[in-house]
Structure 1
Amino acid sequence: MVLSPSLSLTALLEHPFLLLLATVIVFAAFYVRATIGFGSGLIAVAMLTLLFPIKEVVPVVLLLDLLGSVLLGAYDFHEIRWPELRWLVPGSFVGLAIGSFILAATDAQNLTRFLGVFILAYVVYALALKPEGLPRVSLPWGVPLGIFGGIVGSLYGGGGPPIVAYLQMRHLDKRAFRATFQGIALTDNVLRVFMYVGLSLLTVPLALGFLLLVPPLLLGLWAGNHLHMRINQRIFLYGTLLVLALVGCKYLL
């Protein structure tokens, strides 16, 4: 059940218990983000919409994701694989435009189910081969999967699954995977910020409310980064598949 309090600064300060719940959710979301490189948007949106209106949750989570992408991208800057981004980013631009037209002209719910089936099929495929046994795709595959990721990002607020699949099949090590994903996520987030401001979805009160959630974001990134540095590549690969499976189930349901 969605409650009346909003994610604005004033409303959060007037409801300290809800602020505490939001703080715990944001910490958990960015703990996962720092550990495996993605997933914060899914977790934060799914949980915060139980407490706040979705039209406020999505813009605030966008700002949180943008900050998370900047911080992780800066921390891992020397690990970014720029050749991957040179193919992914142009495809993502095209996909974001296509997704906007699809969103305006069709029922996105049916597309959501298709995306859930696609993600779960990929997870089953990857588990059958074992992640380390996935075929190695060439760089140009970044264009179609970037387009697919851009479409997903435009429709659902995050194009992670197709990009994750591409980077897994490029067989990047865990640090390069996390760093390169931040590059494409940052591109997507910046474009969406301009779009949300233009549509008046991102307002000053919500931006001020976002500032209250920065401390748990920073703590989650710090704690998750410690785990990221300790887990081995195999556990990392299976962790990404687990999060993808949860994303696929969410889209189907």
Structure 2
Amino acid sequence: MIMHASLSYATLIQNPLLWAIAGVIILVAFYVRAVIGFGSGLISVALLTLIFPIKEVVPVVLLLDLLGSVLLGAYDFREMRWPELRWLIPGSLIGLAFGSFILADTNAQNLTRFLGVFILAYVCYALLMKPERLPQVALPWGMPLGIFGGVVGSLYGGGGPPIVAYLQMRHLDKRAFRATFQGIALTDNILRAFMYIALALLTWQLTVGFFLLIPPVLLGLWTGNRLHLRINQRTFLMGTLAVLAVVGLKYLI
């Protein structure tokens, strides 16, 4: 496996194999994002960091996720649940501020085991209870889980797990779940972009490299959305847990 390569435009354009590998990873990640509403950041970062430095992967994936959030959010706009966002967004803003500074000053890969334990613990709990029978939490739980999601999002490129747990325990249907997740993701993505620019994590070369990866994002979203519209609610819930379990195992290993 090629190690310590760069996600910059110059490197990708000169190394078609690296570009192709990155493109396949992005396509799969955004296929999953369209099917279950989240996971593109976590999957992309988990796999791309096997080849590229995490401090390049996270900013590029941020831009890709921003594009995905805009497209899916526009498609599902009428399905968004605004009361959930009123609690999730403030918490997420606090969390992403802490996470951005941690990413700038710390090797974030040393913190992945904690995230893996959290994810697997929630998956086991949800399977034991059955996802459709999870207890319904009150709206204010969106604040602490939003904070946790913001920190995770800054460190790993996707704050999915804590927010997924919250939205599942709010018992939203699949379209409302996906739409509401895009609302919080879009807010996080925009603010993280400004923070990454201020902290010199998002450079011009990485930004141009992002444009090379837009086609697999579009293909992944289009094909994944076709499946999302066909699956039933239980399959959707089990799919979210399956993706969480795979990501949790990856972070532990």
Please, what TM-score do these two structures have when normalized by structure 1?
A: 0.92
Q: C-alpha distance in 1, partners of 2:21/2:13?
A: 13
Note closer, same or farther for the CA distance 1:102–1:63 as it changes in structure 2 (3 Å cut): closer
Which residue of the partner structure matches residue 65 of structure 1? 65
* Residues 99-108 or 66-75, more deviating: 99-108
Corresponding position of 1:88: 88
- Name the SS of the counterpart of 1:172 in structure 2: coil
CA distance in 1, matches of 2:61, 2:155: 15
The 1:70–1:168 alpha-carbon spacing in structure 2 relative to 1, beyond 3 Å, is same
Distance, in Å, in 2 between the alignment partners of 1:12 and 1:102 is 28
Distance between the aligned counterparts of 2:103 and 2:210, measured in 1? 27
- The residue number in structure 1 matching 2:157 is 157
**1:8 Cα offset (Å):** 2.2
Give the equivalent residue in structure 2 for 1:197. Answer: 197
SS at match of 2:7: coil
Structure 2 residue aligned with 1:172: 172
The equivalent of 1:209 in structure 2 is: 209
One-letter amino acid matched to 1:132: E
Q: Which moved more, 1:122-131 or 1:48-57?
A: 48-57
Question: After superposition, what is the alpha-carbon deviation per residue over 1:59-89, rounded to whole angstroms, capped at 9, x for unaligned?
Answer: 1111101100111011100011000000111
How far the C-alpha of 1:95 sits from its partner, in A, is 2.0
Equivalent residue number for residue 16 of structure 1: 16
What is the CA–CA distance in structure 2 between the aligned matches of 1:236 and 1:125, rounded to whole Å?
17
Closer, same or farther in 2 for the Cα pair 1:2/1:53, shift >3 Å? farther
Normalised TM-score (structure 2): 0.92
Identify the range of structure 1 (49-58 vs 202-211) with the bigger mean alpha-carbon deviation. Answer: 49-58
Partner of 1:30: 30
Unaligned runs of 5+ in 2: none
User: Contact conserved, 2:45 with 2:156, CA < 8 A, in 1?
Assistant: no
Q: Please tell me the residue identity of whatever aligns with 2:147.
A: I
Deviations 1:113-139 (A, max 9, x none): 233222211111111111111011111
Q: Contact 1:41 / 1:65 at 8 angstroms: preserved in 2?
A: yes
What is the deviation of 1:108? 5.8
SS in 1 for 2:229: helix
Residues 170-227 of structure 1: CA deviation (Å, up to 9, x unaligned): 0000011001001111111111111111122211121111111101100100000000
Distance 1:104 1:22 in 2: 24
Does structure 2 conserve the Cα–Cα contact (< 8 Å) formed by 1:100 and 1:155?
yes
Structure 2 equivalent of residue 229 of structure 1: 229
Alignment of 1:92-131 (within 5 A): 92-100=92-100, 111-131=111-131
- 108-117 or 96-105: which moved more? 96-105
SS at match of 1:63: helix
Q: Percent identity?
A: 77
Counterpart of 2:132 in structure 1 is 132
State whether residues 5 and 15 of structure 1, in contact with CA within 8 Å, keep that contact through their aligned partners in structure 2: no
